């Protein structure tokens, strides 16, 4: 929309009920409601989207990143309705939209592909036999998929059947197509993709590469351009292969050709395998824009209008380095489970020549269970990779997110990790360095003292009545006043000893004692001075809780209430609860069953992904209140166990 407005074009947004107050709705010149929150009743409903475009008098449809962006039937429907589809022709979408057909086409064109089975026989026993022929580990992938949905890594034959069933079910839910292919899993691969552009006049170029190897659950989380350590000859070989791919299918517009590189053989011109082609603009396209100085959406609109490509291959240059992080509402500590809820606080980094921010939500908005839980993309640029990483990490430390769990601290830790800085990356990087990237449970002393200082500062503000009895200067007959502030954090009790002084406080955390004071800024943030050093953060009151925002992390503390603690002291539970809102897809046990620790109890679908809920310990199932198809909220008891 920013690009369209800059070009003098009016924009029309479509939205579901869940997105009625979303930023894209407010940004558009006109907005049209297209249905309820469920994607199949709104964003995936072709007839409704076309009707909205016609009613608004639109000339063209930009399909965005997901939903119908790679749907040939939608592209055809646009053309039939007299609308220009801002993307490739339906024939090109079909040629590359199904992974099996695309790989067969690439094999015919002599582009190397990963060994695997890409055939039509979807019988489970046949696919399992193909997995044995290929050799474990293998990767099951949805034929019509993307974004890690409908994808399972399988290391042993005994796990194949259950993994296949889950991949097919997830693929059907996300894409309406349950078909899969089976490929050899390349150990420690790098995911490198080429941005291509083609017009209707036979011209095609590549706009260099992006490295998207930093992934969790087969989904990208950090992308950068150019790829670290990329030799010139390999860049040229991959770029020319991607252009050949585009020309072979009569491509037009923006697209991305994705390759897998075997890191065991190094970065060489003969060491890459075709994975798939995304026949749309990618979420990570800003890093390409940052190093080329181009607006790829403008290129899309010009090509869709019938113009030639603005530049030729020899006119395209790389300037500096760019890195993008995806700020997600998810919890790295629980396997990156998505989080949903209202954004009570959302402060994103300030934009500059070095920092770009693309956000899909605003403070006070909802991260719903219906769509991808990405909050924003933050992109850093500098002349060097090291500079870009430092610029981005520094900017992220100024961000604040409260109301949902998020991966902000994880992103900062990754950008500052010595192995990531040195370019030692592949798709298993996160798992390999998990303990270093995901902060340990618990709140650091600075965060705990900031919470205590927030409480003390609230008292100080209330004490400005002028009464000598309310002055917090620490004076008492018989010596300075002392007390202990107690908090609950993740089920554990924490305390901060406070000694009141004329010039502030003495705070005791464990055996350590610190001189401290605090002041509030005009924007509500806090500056604490602890042993002479400044600590910048923010503390919010959310209901009965305090949320401490400090250096990219958020910690929830509950001030200790002795009456409530006594009331609930004997109310222990022995339940398996939903870690997020979602829909029950399958229940695998029944009351009376004896289960082992880690055994699958139920499958929960949330935010377009499936999550297996497992028994926390050996136990006997007592009650199962919910069945397949039921919608549950976070914290709902899925299974209760008989008392041991």
User: Which entry of 179, 210, 280, 326 is annotated as an active-site residue?
Assistant: 280
Q: What is the pLDDT of residue 213?
A: 96
Measured CA to CA, the distance from residue 316 to residue 211 in angstroms comes to 19
Supply the CATH number for residue 218's domain: 3.30.470.20
Q: Per-residue pLDDT tens for 102-132?
A: 777 887 777 778 889 988 899 999 999 999 9
3-class DSSP state of 624: coil
Contact call for residues 250 and 91 (beta carbons, < 8 A): yes
DSSP per-residue string spanning 250-306: T--EEEEEEEEEEGGG-S-TT--EEEEEE-S--TTHHHHHHHHT--HHHHHHHHHTT
Lookup: tokens for 295: 């607006």
Q: Are residues 414 and 339 in the same domain?
A: yes
Q: Are residues 294 and 392 in the same domain?
A: no
Do residues 208 and 262 both lie within one domain? yes
Question: End of a domain among 266, 297, 319?
Answer: 319
Q: Would residue 280 show up in a list of annotated catalytic residues for this protein? A: yes
CATH number at residue 166: 3.30.1490.20
Instruction: Determine the Cα–Cα distance for residues 3 and 368; give it in Å rounded to an integer.
Output: 27
Q: Are residues 105 and 238 in the same domain?
A: yes
User: Within this chain, do residues 290 and 364 fall inside the same structural domain, yes or no?
Assistant: no
The verdict on 540 and 621 lying in the same domain is no
Q: Take residue 533 and report the two structure tokens written for it.
A: 């050093």
Three-state secondary-structure class, residue 510: coil
Question: What is the DSSP code (8-state) at residue 538?
Answer: E
Phi, psi dihedrals of residue 458, rounded to the nearest 5°:
-60, -45
What is the three-class DSSP state of 248? Answer: helix
Same domain, 430 and 333: yes
pLDDT of 111: 78
CA dist 339 to 22, 367, 402, 403, 525, Å? Answer: 18, 8, 11, 9, 25
Vertex 39: Cα angle to 37 and 40 (nearest 5): 120
Q: Give the tens place of pLDDT for each residue, 225-245.
A: 999 999 999 999 999 999 999
Out of 389, 407, 440, pick the residue that ends a domain: 440
User: So what's the pLDDT on residue 114?
Assistant: 83
Q: Lay out the sheet containing 609-614: strands in order across.
A: 609-614, 600-606, 582-587, 631-632
Read off the CATH number of the domain in which 25 is found: 3.40.50.20
Tell me how many domains the chain contains. 6
Which residues of the chain register pLDDT less than 50? 469, 475, 477-479, 563-573
Instruction: Please give the residue range of the domain that contains residue 585.
Output: 575-641
Q: Is the domain of 617 the same as that of 490?
A: no
Asked if residue 436 and residue 449 are part of one domain, the reply reads no
Predicted confidence (pLDDT) per residue in 320-330, tens digit: 999 999 999 99
Other beta carbons within 10 angstroms of residue 512's beta carbon come to 9
The pLDDT assigned to 566 comes to 41
- Crossing angle for the helix pair 408-415 and 385-396, to the nearest 10 degrees: 150
pLDDT of residue 115: 83
Helix (H, G, I), strand (E, B) or coil at 374: strand
Residue 82, classed as helix, strand or coil, is: coil
- Residue at which a domain ends, from 319, 339, 371: 319
Residues 19 and 72 in one domain: yes
d(CA 42, CA 12): 15
The predicted structure's pLDDT at residue 581: 81
Whether residues 75 and 208 share a domain: the answer is no
Note whether 420 and 311 are same-domain residues. Answer: no
């Amino acid at each position: 929309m920013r690009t369209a407005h800059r070009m003098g074009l009016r924009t029309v947004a479509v939205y579901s009920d869940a997105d009625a107050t979303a930023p894209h709705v407010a940004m558009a010149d006109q907005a049209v409601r297209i249905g309820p929150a469920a994607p199949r009743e709104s964003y995936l409903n072709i007839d409704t989207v076309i009707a909205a475009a016609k009613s608004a008098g639109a000339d063209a449809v930009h399909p965005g990143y997901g939903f119908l962006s790679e749907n040939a039937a939608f592209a055809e429907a646009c053309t039939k309705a007299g609308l220009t589809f801002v993307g490739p022709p339906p024939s090109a979408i079909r040629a590359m939209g199904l992974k099996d057909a695309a790989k067969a086409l690439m094999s015919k064109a002599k582009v190397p592909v990963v060994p695997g089975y890409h055939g039509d026989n979807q019988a489970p026993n046949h696919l399992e036999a193909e997995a044995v022929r290929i050799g474990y580990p293998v990767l099951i992938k949805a034929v019509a998929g993307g974004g890690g949905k409908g994808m399972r890594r399988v290391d042993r034959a005994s796990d194949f059947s259950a993994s296949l069933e889950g991949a097919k079910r997830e693929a059907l839910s996300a894409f309406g197509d349950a078909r899969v292919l089976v490929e050899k899993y390349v150990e420690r691969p790098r995911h490198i993709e080429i941005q291509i552009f083609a017009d209707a006049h036979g011209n095609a170029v590549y706009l260099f590469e992006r490295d998207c190897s930093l992934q969790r659950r087969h989904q990208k989380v950090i992308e950068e351009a150019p790829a670290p350590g990329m030799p010139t000859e390999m860049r040229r070989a991959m770029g020319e292969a991607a252009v050949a791919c585009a020309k072979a299918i009569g491509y037009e517009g923006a697209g991305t050709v994705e390759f897998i590189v075997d890191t065991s053989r190094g970065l060489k011109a003969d060491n890459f395998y075709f994975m798939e082609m995304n026949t749309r603009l990618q979420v990570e396209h800003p890093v390409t824009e940052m190093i080329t100085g181009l607006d790829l959406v403008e290129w899309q609109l010009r090509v869709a209008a019938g113009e030639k490509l603005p530049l030729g291959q020899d006119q395209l240059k790389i300037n500096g380095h760019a890195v993008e992080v995806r700020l997600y509402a998810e919890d790295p500590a629980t396997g990156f489970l998505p989080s949903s809820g209202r954004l009570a606080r959302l402060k994103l980094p300030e934009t500059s020549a070095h920092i770009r921010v693309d956000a899909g939500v605003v403070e006070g908005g909802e991260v719903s269970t219906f769509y991808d839980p990405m909050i924003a993309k933050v992109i850093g640029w500098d002349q060097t990779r090291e500079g870009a990483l430092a610029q981005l990490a520094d900017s992220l430390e100024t961000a604040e997110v409260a109301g949902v769990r998020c991966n902000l601290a994880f992103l900062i830790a990754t950008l500052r990790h010595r192995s990531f800085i040195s370019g030692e990356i592949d798709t298993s990087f996160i798992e390999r360095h998990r303990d270093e990237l995901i902060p340990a449970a618990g709140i650091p002393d600075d965060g705990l003292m900031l919470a205590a200082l927030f409480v003390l500062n609230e008292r100080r503000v209330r004490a400005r009545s002028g009464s000598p009895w309310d002055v917090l200067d620490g004076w008492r007959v018989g010596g300075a006043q002392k007390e202990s502030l107690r908090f609950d954090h993740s089920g554990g009790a924490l305390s901060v000893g406070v000694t009141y002084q004329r010039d502030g406080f003495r705070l005791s955390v464990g055996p350590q004692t610190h001189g401290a004071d605090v002041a509030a800024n005009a924007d509500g943030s806090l500056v604490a001075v602890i042993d002479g050093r400044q600590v910048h953060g923010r503390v919010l009151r959310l209901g009965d809780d305090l949320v401490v925002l400090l250096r990219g992390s958020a910690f929830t503390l509950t001030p200790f209430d002795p009456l409530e603690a006594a009331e609930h002291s004997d109310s222990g539970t022995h339940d398996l609860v939903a870690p997020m809102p979602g829909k029950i897809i399958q229940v695998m046990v029944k009351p009376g069953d004896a289960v082992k620790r880690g055994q699958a109890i139920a499958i929960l679908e949330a935010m377009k992904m499936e999550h297996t809920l497992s028994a926390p310990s050996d136990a006997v199932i007592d009650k199962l209140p919910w069945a397949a198809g039921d919608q549950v909220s976070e914290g709902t008891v899925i299974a209760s166990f008989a008392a041991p």
